[in-house]
Structure 1
Amino acid sequence: MSMKTHSLAAIAAACAIIAAPAQAADYPNQAITLVVPFSAGGGADNAARILAQGMEAVSGQPVVVENKAGANGSIGAGYVARAKPDGYTVLYDASSFALNPVLRKLPYDPAKDFIPVSQAVVVPNILVVAPESPFQTLGDLIQAAKEKPGEYTYASYGPGSLAQMAAELLKKDAGIEMVHVPYKGGAPAMVDVMAGHVGSYFANAASSLNYVSNGRLRALAVTSEKRMPELPDVPTVAESGIEGFSVYEWNGLFVPGGTPAEVIQKLHGIIEETLARPDVIEKLKGLGLTPVGSNPSEFGQFLKDEEGRWKEVVQANNITLD
């Protein structure tokens, strides 16, 4: 290699070192893309769009929501894992992020290829049926399933999703058998439940609360430890006879591994300020969502705890993907 080539390489390396802090210093100076690895109209998508509006107001930059659904969120996650680590491509994932590693082989390493930025929201699920369903309570559904094992169906937004896991826990704890009908997203699952094509569904409250309120779905129970303020007349699963049953979905934001710490800090600040905005809080609570806004360290520990919890459940219940 010539002296000139060495000099050019040294200059390029020095420029790269100088450019990185400069790019971090003025972050964000262009549009941010929130990649939602689920279909439009589902719970994570609805929440992401509320957050995106608030982030635009806080950051002064456009925040675009892009849906890349499939494989219980792993397709969209894989896309973000390969993205440039500059803070402009952000994964807005859900509970599936902690479920996927214990259920399937992934084309990425969640621990190495992502950096957790913040848990955004937490939300219970609502066990819903069609308005014409013969079941008025969870007890009705359990009794019918005991009398006719394997005859009744439940939907999920994909194999290995929290909707499936919640139903599998119910099956175990109630001693019943039901058939899993997976969909490619929460929206199509909900449509078929409304139409009576599938019997029940542990729907994310963010995507189903409005349908329950307007009578297009009937709520049998909620998975939270206490009743939802938005549905004060709907009992919890625990109140309905399944003691200790508690399942929550969550959403959080991640950036690709290698993203500069200063960018992560600034992005977290934007998210934290967004989740404190009264207009954002009101919209999120209207969907049954509780804002969180944890810091990267807290969110990282939460993820470890979640993965450990679901690993135990999968092993104890011998849960396999369809």
Structure 2
Amino acid sequence: MPMLKIRSRRRALAASLAAAVASLGLAPMAAQAQAWPAKPIKLVVPYAPGGATDILARLVATHLQTSLGQPVVVENKPGAAGVLGNDFVAKSAPDGYTVLLGITAIIQSATLLKLPYDPYKDFMPVSMLATSTSLLSVPKTLPVKNIAEFVQLIKSQPGKHSYGTYGAGSSSHIQGEALKAQAGLDLVHVPYKGAAPMVNDLLGGQISAAFVDAGTARAHVASGAFKVLAVTGTERLKMAPDAPLLSEAGYRLFEPKGWFGFFVPAGTPTLVVNKLSGEIARITRLPEVSKRIDDLGQVPVGSTPAAFAEVIRKDGPLYAKLIKDLNIKLD
């Protein structure tokens, strides 16, 4: 037999053996994915207990463990504005047993911090649970009735007013700086360690304005404790139907909504991702769950992995540009 044919056959045999070995290695992984879940699932919340992210995680976990037949344990891993919890999940085994409930900050922080993980490469989007909008709110004692009067007042008293945020680099900070830049306002930025102290000072009149997330604002809007001048997003809010969208008032780049979404480590089997996503979407549509999300001031979604990935693909560059253009930095 010619030497050329012998070598050709040897190469073909080697390729066949390599394929066989690879298939043997994939077989156990496929079997494990088919059997998922076979043990408890850890649902990581990268923030302290009691906040909106924690409440939503526990709401979904209760229903997930019933439908999946395994305990779903919520673990709070706060620290470094969510980075510690995110990093824990990014470095966990990609087997579907460690899940993250993250928020928009997971992509915003990529422009602000040197992260120990890549939010675009080290996670797989599973499902967007809900979206949230912000309300430009002012103390009820501030003598303005709408955003035009607010802009006029601030311009007439330069250096005398301030606005509060949940912290440097947060959505409320980005929104505040965007309004300042477009309206030409002299407003001092006052960062707080979370929503509660910020809202307390807003109610007390120590700050003149704040972009407050819908969940935090809901009770205060209902009681008339502060006034809402405008809202972010693309639809007016039921809780403040008379407040125009920022876009209706002539301001740009306030359309993106904040979101809460589930992630797993990159490399998690597609079968597992799709099963988890399907369960989350089904749970989100349950009347008692969607009502609870609505009561928290959020809009229930329950998306596919592909739909969630598309939102991240669009939002990431948009926030990166905003943060750079507005010169937002972490002090």
TM over 0.5, shorter chain: yes
Equivalent pair of 1:117/1:255 in contact (CA under 8 Å): yes
Tell me the amino acid that sits aligned with residue 156 of structure 2.
E
- SS in structure 1 of the partner of residue 189 of structure 2: strand
Equivalent pair of 2:221/2:239 in contact (CA under 8 Å): no
- SS in structure 2 of the partner of residue 154 of structure 1: strand
State how far apart, in whole Å, the 2-side matches of 1:82 and 1:159 are: 26
- State the match for 1:9 in structure 2: none
Q: For 1:119-176, what per-residue CA distance to the aligned partner results, in whole angstroms no more than 9, with x for missing partners?
A: 2211211122344444443334322321233332222222211111111111111111
Q: Which runs of 5+ in 1 are unaligned?
A: 1-13
The structure-2 alpha-carbon separation of the partners of 1:214 and 1:48, relative to structure 1 and needing over 3 Å to count, comes to: farther
Give the superposed CA RMSD.
2.7
The structure-2 alpha-carbon separation of the partners of 1:51 and 1:181, relative to structure 1 and needing over 3 Å to count, comes to: farther
- State the match for 2:162 in structure 1: 153
Tell me the amino acid that sits aligned with residue 167 of structure 1.
G
- SS in structure 1 of the partner of residue 94 of structure 2: coil
2:310 aligned with 1:319, yes or no?
no
1:109 is displaced (CA, Å) by 1.3
- SS in structure 1 of the partner of residue 121 of structure 2: helix
TM-score where L is the length of structure 1: 0.84
State how far apart, in whole Å, the 2-side matches of 1:75 and 1:148 are: 41
Q: 2:304 aligns with which of 288, 292, 295?
A: 295
- State the match for 1:200 in structure 2: 209
- State the match for 1:109 in structure 2: 118
2:280 aligned with 1:268, yes or no?
no
Tell me the amino acid that sits aligned with residue 317 of structure 1.
L
State how far apart, in whole Å, the 2-side matches of 1:112 and 1:244 are: 26
- Equivalent positions of 1:196-275 (< 5 A) are 196-242=205-251, 245-275=254-284
TM-score where L is the length of structure 2: 0.82
Q: Which runs of 5+ in 2 are unaligned?
A: 1-22
Q: For 1:246-298, what per-residue CA distance to the aligned partner results, in whole angstroms no more than 9, with x for missing partners?
A: 34211111111232222212211211111121111111122332222222222
Tell me the amino acid that sits aligned with residue 186 of structure 1.
A
2:90 aligned with 1:81, yes or no?
yes
State how far apart, in whole Å, the 1-side matches of 2:48 and 2:197 are: 9
Tell me the amino acid that sits aligned with residue 222 of structure 2.
S
State how far apart, in whole Å, the 2-side matches of 1:171 and 1:120 are: 31
Q: 1:69 aligns with which of 62, 68, 78?
A: 78
Q: Which 10-residue stretch deviates more, 52-61 or 254-263?
A: 52-61
Equivalent pair of 1:38/1:185 in contact (CA under 8 Å): no
Equivalent pair of 2:278/2:304 in contact (CA under 8 Å): no
Q: Rg larger in 1 or in 2?
A: 2
2:121 aligned with 1:123, yes or no?
no
- State the match for 2:19 in structure 1: none
Equivalent pair of 1:173/1:242 in contact (CA under 8 Å): yes
Count of paired positions: 310
Q: For 1:99-131, what per-residue CA distance to the aligned partner results, in whole angstroms no more than 9, with x for missing partners?
A: 111222111111221111112211211122344
The structure-2 alpha-carbon separation of the partners of 1:254 and 1:134, relative to structure 1 and needing over 3 Å to count, comes to: same
State how far apart, in whole Å, the 2-side matches of 1:67 and 1:186 are: 18
Equivalent pair of 1:31/1:61 in contact (CA under 8 Å): yes
Tell me the amino acid that sits aligned with residue 163 of structure 1.
S
Tell me the amino acid that sits aligned with residue 38 of structure 1.
Y
2:131 aligned with 1:99, yes or no?
no
